[in-house]
Copies of this chain bind each other. A is one copy, B any other.
Amino acid sequence: MNENILGIIAGVFTSISMMPQLIKVIREKDVSNISLGMLLILITGLALWVVYGVLKTEWPIILTNALAVTLNTILLIFYFKFK
Contact = CB atoms under 8 A, between A and B. Distances in A.
Interface residues of A, number: 42
A63 interface: no
Given A10-B45, A17-B45, A45-B13, A3 B52 contact: yes
B45 A20 contact: no
A76 interface: no
Nearest to A50: B10
Contact of A33 (B16, B24, B39, B45): B24
Contact of A42 (B14, B23, B55): B14
A77 interface: no
Given A3-B56, A41-B13, A20 B48 contact: no
